[in-house]
Chains A and B, each alone.
Chain A
């Protein structure tokens, strides 16, 4: 398969002198390719905020974006690779937001009207089927279809109960003693995390519900904490240090569903706060620190703005989710407008950063043949040669 494509593309090389020349000037390529998801079709591009990406799983991306200049409505979206597919509101409502998506592409969120007492939960199936979930405000869905969300209490007046939905059964997960709790994420083993007020009704704490009662995940000596995502035995969120300085936090769990460790992930240089919004099965964490999106891996927090093309016109402000392939969703400013983004880890052989390995990349590699430019030295042996070509051809079409 690769040989066939290789021969087909070799024939194109005669038309590539410009690309080859350009390759000489190329610096080391940033590790992520950034994609602007745009907004719903037909809206005035001057309008801001435009779109927000909220969740990603197995490449399925959801969020919400403004739909019309006239009413300023927001509708949930599903990114279909070329544009935003609308997640329509329920009859009588005006806005929808998609909060979570699973690996099958089933998405959950809410349909609502501003100023009403409660929202309506919605499951937008990958196949297009829309299922209403009553007053449950779902926030996350796992591969088996179990949902974490919140059920309003007291008529929906600002207080709710963290709820787990398995099948058609909603289970009230209770609180940590206070009047309200909210669930934000559910793991593949149906463990739920979120936030709850303590009995004083002033202090908010991150919680975990594994197989038993709700447990307080604590802080770093400060007052408040929130748990925003869970993957396997890793929980991430925000916890205050002494002085109530918010810090992105990783809580690790035992297989029995108890707290094992609690790690302050720090901040980006100069920032006064940080928040972790997503974690994947490899333990890679994303979030924001100060005014920038970050990725944290193996003990190091990095500004994602340094990992994309600096001429792209983007400032990434918040990363909200990461899937197991390392793709990251979030929100930032692109050419001055608020937009949802997806970052795709660069395939080393995708030398022109167009998201696919093909003829242009081959031309660039051949243009650097015999040199030592690390951009094209795909195997890192110090020179650009046959082993690098083999890597590129092996990734052909990816």
Chain B
């Protein structure tokens, strides 16, 4: 499918929790851009969320298993660049995270937790730590789900930002990119939970039993989403029991402040050390609650977890500009002739330029500078004459 690209997408924009029409949204081609060396394809890969959580010890409780997702778009450069939806092979590897089964007991407890016998180092969707990335049927991107990567690399280094190498091979040759496959086990339940002599997980289950009349201590390992529906894992839960997100946020809301953190969200979400929120918004003072609201808002039973999420257009407003597609989130939207928003801007929570150099590396490799990919000649072999408008159908 050949498409005409008129210009480049939006430069990184500021928001501050309120509607803005800042002039920073205006586009001007960066004069310092360094043309990327010619390659037969341009491949851009991103993580779907910007951070995934995973425990390493599943012997007592499972909130989230090792499960990561990579998405990639492949573009054949030209005066009229083409987004590839086939005819190429896309593969991934995480060279310094080649194995996870010696870093977690997930595979020991997966049969009890998920009712499946997984081969070690194979995730819940059958994918491992390297392999091919299939095209999403009917779409112009490639996706692999359930990568069981953890935040400890093969040398033993703690690293919530593993680097994945994505390679595309086709008739025209080969191209490669490197992107962060973020994962953290920094769920800091221990800030509040834990009694001497018992694990944090034991204390959590004991509290649940005391408050709700359950007998979870005798049912280890416990999958929280087994009873509490969780769209993240696709579980439907038990009728009458709140969804996991609702239950967690409402029950913990009264206690969040007692964690004594600058950002109370990091009492449970990763984290103080990990910094899930590390993008351009963070640089400009936008915190989690600026977009997501407080715990009462997130725990609102009328909200659908993982689906009802902040929209760029909640804050950004520039006449003539489009942001997400109607009914779709930033992470799933397209514009500019089928280019996905995240392809140029980066993952949610890591939108460029991020505060973490690893998250900026892909953009720098492609166009010579961090931030959204806004150098036309990254994909256009000739600088387009027409200006670019940030429109879905542009």
List residues of chain A with CB under 8 Å of any chain B CB. 46-48, 52, 54, 70-74, 95, 97, 99, 110, 112, 114-117, 119, 137, 139, 150, 154-155, 157-160, 178-180, 182, 184, 195, 197, 201-204, 224, 226, 238, 243-246, 271-273, 275, 288, 290-291, 313, 317-318, 333, 335-338
Contacts and interface: CB of A to CB of B under 8 A. Distances in A.
Interface stretch (B25-33, B157-165, B239-247, B316-324): B157-165
B202 A336 contact: yes
Given A115-B278, A115-B355, A179 B165 contact: yes
B358 A116 contact: yes
A313 to B, nearest CB: 7
Given A226-B99, A337-B194, 18 more contacts: A71-B272, A99-B155, A114-B356, A115-B278, A115-B359, A117-B357, A117-B358, A158-B163, A178-B95, A195-B154, A204-B95, A244-B120, A246-B99, A246-B102, A246-B120, A272-B120, A288-B102, A337-B199
Nearest to A94: B273
A336 B204 CA distance: 12
B186 A224 contact: no
A272 B358 contact: no
A241 to B, nearest CB: 10
B37 interface: no
A158 B158 contact: no
28 contacts: A48-B190, A48-B200, A71-B272, A72-B188, A95-B158, A97-B156, A97-B158, A114-B158, A116-B357, A158-B96, A158-B162, A158-B163, A159-B165, A182-B155, A202-B130, A202-B131, A204-B95, A226-B99, A238-B99, A238-B102, A245-B119, A246-B99, A246-B101, A273-B101, A291-B108, A335-B197, A336-B202, A338-B57
B41 interface: no
A114 B160 contact: yes
Given A115-B358, A116-B357, A333-B199, A272 B155 contact: no
B121 A317 contact: no
Interface of B: 57, 59, 91, 93-96, 98-99, 101-102, 105, 107-108, 119-122, 130-131, 154-165, 167, 178, 186, 188, 190-191, 193-194, 196-200, 202, 271-275, 278, 355-359, 361
Given A72-B186, A72-B273, A272-B108, A54 B156 contact: yes
Nearest to A317: B105
A202 B273 contact: no
B55 to A, nearest CB: 11
A71 B96 contact: no
Contact of B197 (A157, A195, A313): A313
A157 B99 contact: no
Contact of A275 (B102, B131, B158): B102
A226 B98 contact: yes
Contacts of B158: 74, 95, 97, 114
A319 to B, nearest CB: 12
Pick the most buried of B94, B101, B186: most chain A CB atoms within 10 A of its CB. Answer: B101
A114 B273 contact: yes
B362 to A, nearest CB: 9
